[in-house]
Amino acid sequence: MTFTEQLLQELAEAGGRIVKSGSGPGLEKWPPRVAAARRSGRVPETKELYGGWCQGGYEIKLVDVPAWRLAVLEPIPVPARLARPHTVVRTMQNEQQQMGLTKPVQGHALRLIQALITAAEAEGHSSSAGQTGSAPPSHRRRRANPHFTITAQGQTVGFLVLQEQDRTEHIATDKELAEAKKNSWIRIPRFDYTPSERLRFVLSGGQPHRASEWADTPNRPLEDQLAEIAQEVTLRGEAAERRRLDEVEAARQKRIRWEAAMKEARVQYAEACRFRHFEAQEAAWRHATGLAEYVSAARTRVDAMPPGQTRTEAETWIDWAAARVEHLNPLNTPPRLPDIPEPRADDLRPFLGHWSPYGP
């Protein structure tokens, strides 16, 4: 049994994931072994072998290849000439500097864009023109504004069309040599760069799946890669839609939790109101009881007074005070639950924890 077969069997028995622990050379051998297993051709076509360092050591996983990578893509035909250019393509044609490309490749680029936009709109996507000015400096090429965009399910993907450069060894001229000898700060460039006929599409926006750049290669021109680029736009749109639905669901669940917290806060607020009423009644009873004891003691004192105007005035006062005490004592009326006032936002805040009373 080869090492790859042994590794695949071990992964199958472990459910597709194993972690190699240890230290030193015994652990460091696993990355090249996993790389060799990938190259062996024995990994099933519907599976992918991953390896990477984790907290417990070196993790190896065998996972299913995403369905979109197994899909058979229909080639996208590229028109031989632009008989009826799309609105976005026509906008680019009317620009003085068409995407900063040299004339020999402008037509090729526009035909590729025409084919890509036509295929995208057939899938229900929309497109619009962007910036089509001169080419940015080489160190900022991938950060320039997109030349056009395609929007799939709310996700806008920007497309920057770049012209590849051929690099050749620079042969210094006599003038350059003389200048460099005369001035120490002058540096003769090592290479010369000239525009080639190869193009590169750079995508921005959304979650990348296959890649973010596609370029002409000797064995695979961009014409043969348009189907992958179109699929990439669709995949980014689907990912954005899933993310949007997840956010909607998360917001819905958050609102449910907030509404439950608000409901519980109202219950606790009502209970707090009842308890405050209870405490107020107990305090009023104690106050009335104390006053009644005073009135009783005062009445005993007044009863001992001799008849006369002073006693009469004192009895009048005692009768008034006794009536007031009778009115203040909460036990002289049947006890009942208090009416709960409608709470304001700040009334509920103490019972909401980290939640806001104004919304989730």
For the stretch 148-169, pLDDT in tens is: 999 999 999 999 999 998 888 9
Cα 69 from Cα 303, distance rounded (Å): 107
- Residue 138 scores a pLDDT above 80: no
| pLDDT for the residue numbered 134 | 56
Which residue is listed with tokens 């009826």?
Answer: 84
Q: How many helices (H) and strands (E) does the chain have?
A: 10, 8
Cα 360 from Cα 351, distance rounded (Å): 15
| pLDDT for the residue numbered 102 | 87
Cα 311 from Cα 98, distance rounded (Å): 115
- Find out whether 47 and 63 touch, Cβ atoms under 8 Å: yes
Taking the CA atoms of 319, 322, 328 and 331 in sequence, report the sign of the dihedral they define: negative
Q: Checking DSSP bridges between strand 17-20 and strand 126-129, what pairing results, if any? A: unpaired
- Residue 221 scores a pLDDT above 70: yes
- Residue 135 scores a pLDDT above 80: no
Delimit the domains of the chain by residue range.
3-65, 87-230, 253-351
Which residue is listed with tokens 């973010």?
Answer: 212
User: What's the DSSP call for residue 344?
Assistant: P
Q: How far is CA 44 from CA 40, 65, 122, in A?
A: 11, 10, 34
Question: Which structure tokens are listed for 177?
Answer: 């040599």
Burial bucket for residue 200 (CB in 10 Å: 0-12, 13-18, 19+): middle
| pLDDT for the residue numbered 188 | 85
Cα 210 from Cα 176, distance rounded (Å): 45
| pLDDT for the residue numbered 281 | 92
| pLDDT for the residue numbered 153 | 96
Q: Which residues pair with 241 in a beta bridge?
A: none
- Find out whether 215 and 70 touch, Cβ atoms under 8 Å: no
Of 102-106, 208-212, 250-254, 258-262, give the lowest mean pLDDT range. Answer: 102-106
Cα 109 from Cα 91, distance rounded (Å): 14
Taking Cα atoms as reference points, which of 96, 95, 75, 31 lies closest to residue 57?
A: 31
Cα 117 from Cα 89, distance rounded (Å): 9
Cα 340 from Cα 250, distance rounded (Å): 34
| pLDDT for the residue numbered 183 | 87
- Residue 238 scores a pLDDT above 90: yes
3-state helix, strand, coil in the chain (%, to 5): 50, 20, 30
- Residue 209 scores a pLDDT above 90: yes
| pLDDT for the residue numbered 140 | 60
| Summary mean pLDDT of the chain | 90
- Region of 223 please: left (phi>0), alpha (psi -120 to 50) or beta: alpha
Taking Cα atoms as reference points, which of 53, 41, 32 lies closest to residue 8?
A: 41
How sure is the predictor about 172, in pLDDT bands with cuts at 50, 70 and 90?
Answer: confident
pLDDT (average), residues 340-348: 94
Ordered alpha helix ranges (H), the chain: 3-13, 25-28, 30-39, 67-70, 87-93, 103-122, 174-182, 226-303, 309-328, 345-348
Tell me the HSE value of 22 on the side-chain side, using a 13 A CA sphere: 9
